[in-house]
Amino acid sequence: MGFIIECSFLEIFYASLLVFLILYLYIIKEYDYWEERKVPHVPATFPFGSVRDIMLGRSFSGFVFDRMYKQFPAERYVGFTDMRVPALLVREPELIKLILQKDFDHFTDHHGFNMNPKEYIMKNLFSLRGEEWRRTRVKLSPAYTAAKIKMMFALVRRCSDTLRQEVDKYIDSSSVVDVKDFMSRFTIDVIASCAFGIEINSLVNRESAFYRMGIESMKVKMSMMVKLFLLNSFPIFSKVYFFNYVDTAISKFFTGVIRSAVEYREKHNISTYDFLDLLIKLKQNQSILEEGEKTWRSSRCILQCSAHVLGFTVEEITGETFLFFTAGFETSSNTIMFCLYELACDSRIQDKLSLEVEEVLNRYEGGISYQALLEMTYMDQVINETLRRYPPFPYLTRCCTEDYDVPKSSLTIKKGHHITIPVYSLHHDPEHFPEPFTFNPDRFSPENSKDRHPCVFMPFGEGPRMCVGQKFGLMNVKTAVATLVADYQISLTPDTEVPLKLTNNACTTIPFVPLMLVFTRRKTKI
C-alpha cells in the first residue's frame, strides 16, 4: 500500500514538474527578442519580464519606466519585456510625434483591452479598436465640444457651491481638511450630475451608495492584477472570455442606474443639459451638432459627422457613461488635490493665483462663471504645471496594428507588439524642463512654451486618441481650485509629507497616504 502511495506521489510530482517546465519555456520564449535584434534593452526575469515591480505593486509604474528611460539616456527607444511580450519604450519626442500623429494608422489601438464582448460596460471609446473605435469617435466627438461643456457648467457650479459650504462648515470644528475625501466627493457629485443625470450630493450625504460604489470601482485589486497577468501571458484567455474586468456588483449597480435614468427620461420626454441627454439623443438618431460647431479632425483623415448619425444602444450608453465616470473621477480629483498641495507648499504662487481669481471674479460680480475661468491665464499655468509634476496617467500605450519600420533605424515593430510612452519621464526630464522637481507655473507662460516640443508635455495624450474629455476635466479642476483659493488660505500641516510619496498599486498618480491640509478663511472674501 505504501509503495502505491509513493508511486502516485512521484507521478504527481513529475507531472507538476513537467507542467512547470512547459510553462517556464513558454513564458521565457521571447525573453531574448531584443538581444537578437541588438536593441538596447532591459533584461527580463521570470515570470514578469521587465515589469516585476509593477505587477507585484512594489513601485509606482511611472518610476519603473523612468528607470528604463534614464538607463539609456542617448537612445531613441529601449526594448523591454511586458511579462512575456516584447515591447518598446519610446524616448525621442519626434518619434513619439510620428507614432501618435503622422503614422497613427499603424498604432490606432490602446494596448491590453481584449475584453469579453458581453461585458458591455467596458465597451467604450477607450477600449474599442480599429474601425469600431473610429465609428464611435465620430458619433461622440460632438458631445465634447466647448459649447457642450459650457452647457454643463451650471451643474459643476452648483457642486462647487456645495463644496464651499461644506468646507466652510467643516473648518469650524477642524482647520485640517482631508483634501482627498472632499475632492473625491466633489468630483463624483459633478460626474453623477453630468454623466448619470442624478444628484447624489455625497458632500452632504456622506453615506451615499453611489459614492461608495464609485470608490470601490477605482480600487486596483489583486484579482485584477492576476487577470492582467493571465491575459498578457496566455492569449487564449482573451479568446474564451473566462472573466470580466469589472466586478459583477459594480457592473450591476452602474448598469441599473443608467438604464433606469434612460428609461425615465424617454418615458417622460425629459431633456436636460448633461452628457446622458446627448447620448439619449444619439440613441434616438438625433444630431447633437449645434449650428456652427466643427467636426472632429484626425491627423491623417477628416471624419465628417453627418446631420443624422447611427443611433446608440442602451448598452453603448452604459459603456460610454461608465467611461465618463472612470476616466474623469480620480484624474480630476487627484489633479485638484495635487494642485492644492503645491499651492500650500509655496505661498508666493498661491497669493499670485488668489489675486488673479479675485481680479477676474470682481469683473463678474464675484461669481464663478465659465467665461471667468477662461480669463484666468495664471490659473492655466498652475494647472498645467500640476499636470506636468503629477500626470494623471504616468504612461501611454499603443498597440502596433500594422508592421512599422521605425524611421532612421533598421528596427521593425511587429504587428501585435506594443509601445509605451513614458509620460512621467518626459515631464521630468531636465532637458525639457530644467529643475523638473521644482513647481514653477512660469514654465507654461506663452514665451516659455512657444519653442517646447509638443510631445514632451502630454497629460491628456496626443493625436486622434488623446483624451476626448480634456475640456470637461479642466473645467472641473479650475472650478474647484478657484472656489477654494477665493475663500481660503491653504497651508501644510506639520505631518504633511514633502515631497509626497506616491502609491505603488494604482492605475493613476495618487498619494500614498491621505493628504491633509490646513484651511484658514481669508480675512476678505471675494
pLDDT tens-place values along the chain, 526 residues long: 555 666 677 778 888 888 889 888 988 999 999 999 999 999 999 999 999 999 888 999 999 999 999 999 999 999 999 988 999 999 999 999 999 999 999 999 998 766 667 788 888 888 888 898 998 898 888 888 888 899 999 999 999 999 999 999 998 888 899 999 999 999 999 999 998 888 899 999 988 889 998 888 887 777 777 777 777 777 666 666 667 778 888 889 999 999 999 998 988 888 888 898 889 888 888 777 665 555 544 444 433 443 344 578 888 899 999 999 988 888 999 999 999 999 999 999 999 999 999 999 999 887 899 999 999 999 999 999 999 999 999 999 999 999 999 999 999 999 999 999 999 999 999 999 999 999 999 999 999 999 999 999 999 999 999 999 999 999 999 999 999 999 999 999 998 988 999 998 878 898 888 899 999 998 655 4
β-pairing, 404-405 vs 176-178, is: unpaired
Of 309, 214, 321, whose CA–CA distance to 259 is shortest? 321
Give residue 292's pLDDT: 57
Looking at residue 507, its pLDDT comes to 80
468-474, Cβ contacts within 8 angstroms, sequence gap of 24 or more: 468/125, 468/137, 468/140, 468/141, 468/144, 469/144, 469/324, 469/327, 469/328, 471/144, 471/146, 471/149, 472/144, 472/149, 472/152, 472/194, 472/328, 473/328, 473/331, 473/332, 473/335, 474/383
The x, y and z cell numbers of residue 525, run together, are: 472674501
| pLDDT of the residue at 241 | 62
With beta carbons less than 8 A apart as the criterion, state whether 92 and 453 touch: no
Residue 240: per-residue pLDDT: 64
Whose cell is 452628457? That residue is 275
DSSP for 274-309 reads SHHHHHHHHHTT---PPTTPPPPB-SS-B----SS-
**How distant, in Å, are the alpha carbons of 278, 517, 522 from that of 171?**
39, 11, 12
E strands present in 116-184 = 176-178
317: left (phi over 0), alpha (psi -120 to 50) or beta: alpha
Q: Which of 465, 460, 459, 472 is nearest to 127 (CA)?
A: 465
C-alpha cell at 210: 453611489
How remote is the C-alpha of 506 from its chain's centroid? 11
Say how far apart CA 339 and CA 479 lie, in whole Å: 12
Please say whether the dihedral angle defined by the alpha carbons of residues 325, 330, 331 and 335, taken in this order, is positive or negative. positive
**Contact residues for 430 (Cβ-Cβ < 8 A; gap 6+):** 436
CA distance 197 to 163: 19
Report the pLDDT value the prediction gives residue 289, as an integer from 0 to 100: 65
How confident is the model at residue 17, as a pLDDT?
A: 87
Cell numbers given for 306: 453627418
Residue 15 main-chain phi, psi, to 5 deg: -65, -40
CB within 8 Å of 301: residues ≥ 6 apart: none
